[in-house]
Amino acid sequence: MSNAIEARGLNYRAGKTFEIRDMNLNVPAGSIYGYLGPNGSGKTTTIRLLLGMTKRISGDVTLLDHRSPDDLPAALAKIGYVPERPHLYPTLTVAEAMRFHAAFYPTWDAQWATRLLRVFELPHDRRIARLSKGETGKLMILLALAQRPELLILDEPTDGLDPMVRRDVLAAVIDYVGDTGATVFISSHLVHELERMCDWVGVLDKGRLVTEMPITQFKAGVKRIRLIGAPEQALGTPFELLSRVPEALSDGESWVVRGWDDPMREYFEARGAKIRDIVDLDLEEVFVEMLRNSRQGVTR
């Protein structure tokens, strides 16, 4: 199994304003894949299509070598899923919810569930309706991890949680992957949170997969180049130009490029341009520039 998740030619339409068109998605087995996109870009819709919760118009989906929908039950038995909105019975206590969930999964690890209960400091006798948002989020992660899944699908798992809870939730996921080698597919618009844990990145915008690649490649050589006397046309560049915008407080321009190497200074020198500054960008800045480039194209 080279990919834990594969989608080929995935198509879906909701009304007249939103569609997913010809999506090809590849989530390598054993990876932590960050599925990044603004709110409303289609991240939750993609997950629902992959899990068979929403009917696609066309396309092929394979989960853990099981084709959907024919082999979907066999795949779902190996998948832990944390939805964007909790789906727990509010009248159950934490302990009752754990027993209820365990009944559906022969792989349920009661010992580890109890350990997570202590680590997360969850009150076992409290009803779910009385849990805080952070406690509910930790319970959702506990239920997904304790079934010992081969694939963990998390839809905005830390959205709205305070920093300490987010840290505990993400630490539990990383520990699980380290112990089991499981695959994680995690959607989020909080780019900075995923930078230190993901090794693959997919960027979604308005239902279109803009790019997917290893995170090292995604960030490789991405720089902001501040220029005086920038050439009018960016022809024959030895790098990929993601964006170029005028600087508000000077007569210069700011170029964001990928694949930069210091000898490439010669490209600008040969065209009479002067480099004022070269700045490294973090994942969130690269993400923003990728979206800008996708929506508007690069001004030549």
The pLDDT assigned to 297 comes to 55
The yes-or-no verdict on residue 299 having pLDDT over 70 is no
The pLDDT assigned to 296 comes to 65
Distance between CA 103 and CA 229 in Å, rounded?
68
The pLDDT assigned to 111 comes to 94
Q: How confident is the model at residue 1 (pLDDT cuts 50, 70, 90)?
A: low
Sign of CA dihedral 41, 44, 49, 55: negative
The pLDDT assigned to 247 comes to 86
**Residue range(s) occupied by CATH 3.40.50.300 in the chain:** 3-215
The yes-or-no verdict on residue 77 having pLDDT over 90 is yes
The pLDDT assigned to 300 comes to 37
Question: 109-118, 119-128, 167-176, 277-286: lowest mean pLDDT where?
Answer: 277-286
Q: Which CATH code, of 1.10.287, 3.30.70, 3.30.230, 3.40.50, is assigned to 220-296?
A: 3.30.70
Give the whole-number percent of the chain exceeding pLDDT 70: 98
**Residue range(s) occupied by CATH 3.30.70 in the chain:** 220-296
Mean pLDDT of the chain: 91
The yes-or-no verdict on residue 298 having pLDDT over 60 is no
The yes-or-no verdict on residue 248 having pLDDT over 80 is no
What average pLDDT score do residues 198-206 get?
92
What average pLDDT score do residues 63-74 get?
94
The pLDDT assigned to 86 comes to 85
Distance between CA 231 and CA 138 in Å, rounded?
53
The yes-or-no verdict on residue 152 having pLDDT over 70 is yes
Q: How many CB atoms lie within 10 A of CB 8?
A: 14
What average pLDDT score do residues 9-38 get?
93
The pLDDT assigned to 286 comes to 83
What average pLDDT score do residues 181-201 get?
89
* Assigned architecture for domain 3-215: 3-Layer(aba) Sandwich (3.40)
The pLDDT assigned to 178 comes to 93
Question: 49-53, 213-217, 284-288: lowest mean pLDDT where?
Answer: 284-288
Instruction: Note if the pTM is more than 0.85.
Output: yes
